[in-house]
């Protein structure tokens, strides 16, 4: 942990668009405060680049408080950098030392094509959600919440699955670029609640089919996704998805 | 729509095939190791040869052998297919990838460990299975059973072969360390009340099976049993 300002070398992936080949480009940064977030450090870099008449580095970001799931940098071989349970925007420069070289790459997966530099197109996730990650309810007044009793443990498990912000770190870190942690969280958050039951087995089939169609890899249970997830989504969700998938395909009458 | 073909060709279905065949092979290893461990009775292989004779002649076992080969081939082909597909899922590799920060090396190296095991398996089948099923075991023991034990003693005089077998058991141990628990996760058998048992059983099983197998060539080569 550093206290004074730092001098750093950045190796940043620069790529014009998805049709061109990219490369790592070296940048020297001086006087970086340890209290800056990783993205603020990139803001400093971009200010320098703009001042020098160069193209700034394009990267995704939005809320900068760890809840939106937009930031997505692969830092020194790990998604969202070296700290557990944080997103890149919540990673601070005090996690690095003066003189460090930091390699920053975009998420790499066939299903996440690079848009430019560090920004990738994650709309594959949107299409997986659109395939079944919802419940159908009639409009009108919401019924009284107490008319649907839900055990506390069940509600907690659903809430923990719902904490997924869809950033794609699981895909990025998986050696197979598999999206199973994301998809299983989005299936579980509904499968655990009474409101999710009517479409439960249709949902798991549709969402898994869409996941496969998007070209994500196959899970080999290395557990890297769980370890790197900034929201601590558990592998139990993948097991639940597998169980539901087996029930849907081998027992349920309803096939999608 | 036919549900089953569709189910098994999906990403989760492919995992089911790996998991089911994996558990089947795990059960097979218990039988294989149990019968081979009869050599440690150290009675000149008489008991072991009874076991080997039973395995070679009982029709249920012979039918099971066909299922075993089908299961093994399914495991191998499915693994090759998965490896190929997973490489396609990340066409551009990372310049810097810190796998050890989030997962065990053997969980990321199942393909390599499996390939080493496949190479070993070819050697191993040629050493024993081909001899006992096809080319014939040359001698009989005091009970009149084919003396597979004598074949084993002769093969394990070669230090290179002994070394290959021991190294293969390291591959087996790490392959099982990931594969055993992984099969349960794949089948959806992940439950806080049982996860500790599965994890413990996974380690004990992998280590005991591998050590017992590795001790066989060592014991024969060093003359601990004769």
B99/A217 touch (CB, cutoff 8 Å), yes or no? no
| Average pLDDT estimate for B184-208 | 96
Nearest chain A residue to B82 by CA distance is: A218
| Average pLDDT estimate for A161-188 | 98
**Which pLDDT does position A129 carry in this prediction?**
98
Q: Is A200 helix (H, G, I), strand (E, B) or coil?
A: helix
Task: Judge whether residue B127 has pLDDT over 60.
Answer: yes
**Which pLDDT does position B1 carry in this prediction?**
46
**B141-191: pLDDT as tens digits:** 999 999 999 999 999 999 999 999 999 999 999 999 999 999 999 999 999
- Closest listed residue to residue A179, CA positions, set A246, A125, A116: A125
* A-chain residues near B108 (CB < 8 A): 175, 222, 224
- Please indicate if any CB of chain B lies within 8 Å of the CB of A11: yes
- Please indicate if any CB of chain B lies within 8 Å of the CB of A241: yes
Task: Judge whether residue A143 has pLDDT over 90.
Answer: no
- Please indicate if any CB of chain B lies within 8 Å of the CB of A112: no
Long-range contact list for A61-67, CB < 8 A, 24+ apart?
Answer: A61/A88, A61/A89, A63/A89, A64/A37, A64/A39, A64/A89, A65/A89, A65/A90, A66/A90, A66/A230, A67/A165
Please, which residues 19-58 of chain A have a Cβ atom closer than 8 Å to chain B? 24
| Average pLDDT estimate for B196-205 | 97
A108/B82 touch (CB, cutoff 8 Å), yes or no? no
**Which pLDDT does position B2 carry in this prediction?**
59
Min Cα–Cα distance to chain B from A256, Å: 8
ipTM for the whole complex: 0.94
A217/B85 touch (CB, cutoff 8 Å), yes or no? yes
Percent of the residues in chain B that have a pLDDT greater than 90, as a whole number? 96
**Which pLDDT does position A142 carry in this prediction?**
82
**Which pLDDT does position A1 carry in this prediction?**
52
Where would I find the H helices in chain A? Answer: 38-51, 123-130, 152-162, 169-173, 180-191, 200-213, 224-228, 236-250
Task: Judge whether residue B126 has pLDDT over 60.
Answer: yes
Q: Measured between CB atoms, which of B11, B97, B108 is closest to A77? A: B97
* A-chain residues near B99 (CB < 8 A): 77, 175, 224
pTM value is: 0.95
Min Cα–Cα distance to chain A from B77, Å: 15
Task: Judge whether residue A78 has pLDDT over 60.
Answer: yes
B96/A77 touch (CB, cutoff 8 Å), yes or no? yes
**B35-45: pLDDT as tens digits:** 999 999 999 99
**A182-222: pLDDT as tens digits:** 999 999 999 999 999 999 999 999 999 999 999 999 999 99
């Amino acid at each position: 942990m550093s206290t004074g300002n730092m001098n750093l070398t950045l190796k940043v992936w620069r790529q014009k668009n998805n049709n061109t080949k990219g490369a790592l480009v070296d940048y020297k940064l001086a006087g970086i405060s340890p209290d800056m977030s990783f993205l603020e450090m990139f803001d400093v870099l971009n200010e320098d680049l703009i001042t020098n008449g160069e193209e700034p580095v394009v990267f995704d970001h939005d809320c900068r408080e760890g809840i939106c799931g937009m930031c997505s940098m692969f830092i020194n071989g790990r998604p969202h950098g070296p700290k557990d349970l944080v997103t890149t925007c919540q990673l601070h420069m005090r996690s690095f030392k003066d003189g460090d070289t930091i390699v920053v790459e975009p998420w790499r997966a066939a299903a996440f094509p690079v848009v430019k530099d560090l920004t990738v197109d994650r709309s594959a996730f949107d299409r997986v959600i659109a395939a079944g990650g919802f419940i159908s309810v009639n409009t009108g007044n919401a019924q009284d919440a107490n008319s649907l009793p839900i055990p506390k443990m069940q509600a907690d498990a659903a809430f923990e699955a719902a904490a997924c912000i869809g950033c794609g770190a699981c895909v990025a870190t998986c050696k197979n670029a598999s999206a199973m942690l994301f998809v299983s969280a989005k299936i579980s958050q509904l499968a655990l609640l009474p409101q999710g039951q009517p479409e439960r087995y249709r949902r798991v089939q549709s969402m898994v089919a869409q996941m496969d169609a998007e070209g994500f890899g196959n899970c080999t249970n290395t557990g890297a996704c769980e370890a790197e997830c900034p929201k601590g989504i558990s592998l139990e969700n993948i097991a639940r998805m597998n169980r539901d998938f087996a029930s849907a395909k081998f027992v349920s009458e309803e096939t999608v | 729509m036919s549900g089953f073909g569709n189910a098994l060709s999906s990403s989760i279905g492919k995992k089911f095939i790996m998991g089911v065949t994996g558990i089947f092979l795990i059960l097979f290893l218990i039988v294989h190791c149990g019968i081979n461990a009869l050599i440690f009775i150290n009675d000149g292989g008489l008991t072991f040869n009874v076991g080997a004779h039973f395995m070679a002649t009982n029709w249920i076992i012979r039918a099971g052998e066909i299922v075993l080969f089908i299961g093994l081939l399914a495991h191998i082909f499915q693994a090759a297919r998965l490896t190929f597909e997973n490489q396609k899922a990340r066409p551009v590799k990372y310049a810097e990838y810190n796998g050890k920060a989030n997962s065990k090396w053997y969980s990321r190296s199942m393909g390599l460990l499996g390939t080493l095991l496949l190479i070993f398996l070819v050697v191993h089948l040629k050493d024993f299975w081909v001899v006992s099923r096809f080319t014939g075991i040359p001698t009989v023991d005091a009970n009149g059973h084919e003396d597979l034990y004598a074949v084993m003693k002769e093969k394990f005089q070669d230090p290179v072969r002994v070394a290959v077998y021991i190294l293969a058991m390291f591959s087996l141990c790490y392959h099982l360390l990931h594969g055993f628990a992984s099969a349960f996760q794949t089948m959806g058998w992940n439950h806080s009340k049982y996860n500790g048992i599965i994890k413990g059983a996974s380690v004990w099983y992998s280590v005991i099976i591998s050590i017992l197998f590795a001790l066989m060539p060592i014991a024969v080569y060093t003359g601990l049993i004769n």
